[in-house]
Amino acid sequence: MSAEILKGIDVAKAINGSILEKVKNLDGMVPRLAIVRVGEKPDDVAYEKGAVKKMEKLGLEYSLYSYPEDITNERFMTEFDRINRDNEIDGILLLRPLPKHIDEEAVAERIDPYKDLDGISPTNMAKVYAGDEKGFAPCTAEAVIECLDYAGIDPTGKNVTVVGRSLVIGKPLAMLLIKRNATVTVCHTKTVNIEEKCRNADIVIAAAGSKKMIRSGFVSDGAVVIDVGINDDGEGGICGDVDTEGVLEKASLVTPVPGGVGSVTTSVLAKHLLRASHIG
């Protein structure tokens, strides 16, 4: 057996096609995204560029708001409130984590839930946890679901192990999978026998931020392996949480890094923007 490689670009194209059909029928009301960045972290700048490229490709509008890393907490809150209240803005993407001196929790609490495209507000988190599909889930977590849907993999009744328990991916993703009737195990740094728990799964989703931790021994024959990790490979490039070469002969399907789930995330962001503007 040699696993199928599911490329994110194929999943993204399918989502983009649906968005373009809706955008074609707009009557001058083009949704606008606000991208808010503090500082110049390379990951943030790269994600911003990717989001801008996607908005331009899909004919959606955007505004960029960038602030110096040493902006005061008070000043940032004032600026953020201004963006939040702007009726020309349909959706907001806040690049995180913010510098430590800025109260990120306070920002999450004040963002308009209807503009909160990446699901950081308590309102949207509560909706995701309640199984309410009117809420916005974090884009990366939803991108995993989009990958499974594209590949025709129904989680119903399947054992799924999610490695990672962050509020950005692990926890909300577990809730999205439960909504799809999967039986979900969430593993983390304190989990005993994590290898065995992964090996017992039909679907393994790696979102721990640990370089190539999911090796051949973690994967059962025919398992689906979704890699959400982004790590420095030590050689000037990036790699995921999965040792892709090591699992190819056992898994039935694997997403690569780079070129996997990350490629889908900005398409999910655009999809959320249409929803926020009451078009999608």
Over the stretch 214-234, which tens digit does the pLDDT of each residue have? 999 999 999 999 999 999 988
Q: How confident is the model at residue 25 (pLDDT cuts 50, 70, 90)?
A: confident
Confidence of residue 279 (pLDDT cuts 50, 70, 90): low
**Whole-number Cα distances in Å, 234 to 41, 192, 221, 231:** 18, 28, 30, 9
Handedness of CA 188, 194, 198, 201 (dihedral sign): negative
Confidence of residue 108 (pLDDT cuts 50, 70, 90): very high
* pLDDT of res. 26: 82
Q: Region 190-209: what's the mean pLDDT?
A: 97
Listed by start position, the domains of the chain span 27-115, 138-261
CA distance 28 to 140: 30
| DSSP per residue, 22-67 | HHHT--S---EEEEEEES--HHHHHHHHHHHHHHHHHT-EEEEEEE
27-115 and 138-261 have identical folds: yes
Residue 2 pLDDT greater than 90, yes or no = no
Share of the chain above pLDDT 70, in %: 99
Using the predicted structure, report yes or no on whether residue 27 has a pLDDT greater than 80: no
Q: What is the mean pLDDT of residues 113-131?
A: 97
CB of 22 within 8 A of CB of 50? no
- Using only C-alpha atoms, what is the Rg of the chain? 19
pLDDT in tens, 8-19: 999 999 999 999
Cα angle for residues 118, 119, 123 (degrees, 5° grid)? 155
Asked whether residue 50 carries a pLDDT value surpassing 90, the answer given is: yes
Would you place residue 190 in the very low, low, confident or very high pLDDT band (cuts 50, 70, 90)?
very high
**Reported pTM:** 0.95
CATH topology of domain 27-115: Rossmann fold (3.40.50)
CA–CA separation, 88 vs 82, rounded Å? Answer: 11
Burial category of 61 from C-beta neighbours within 10 Å (exposed 0-12, middle 13-18, buried 19 and up)? middle
pLDDT at 104 over 90: yes
Per-residue pLDDT tens over the stretch 139-169: 999 999 999 999 999 999 999 999 999 999 9
What pLDDT was estimated at residue 280?
56
CATH topology of domain 138-261: Rossmann fold (3.40.50)
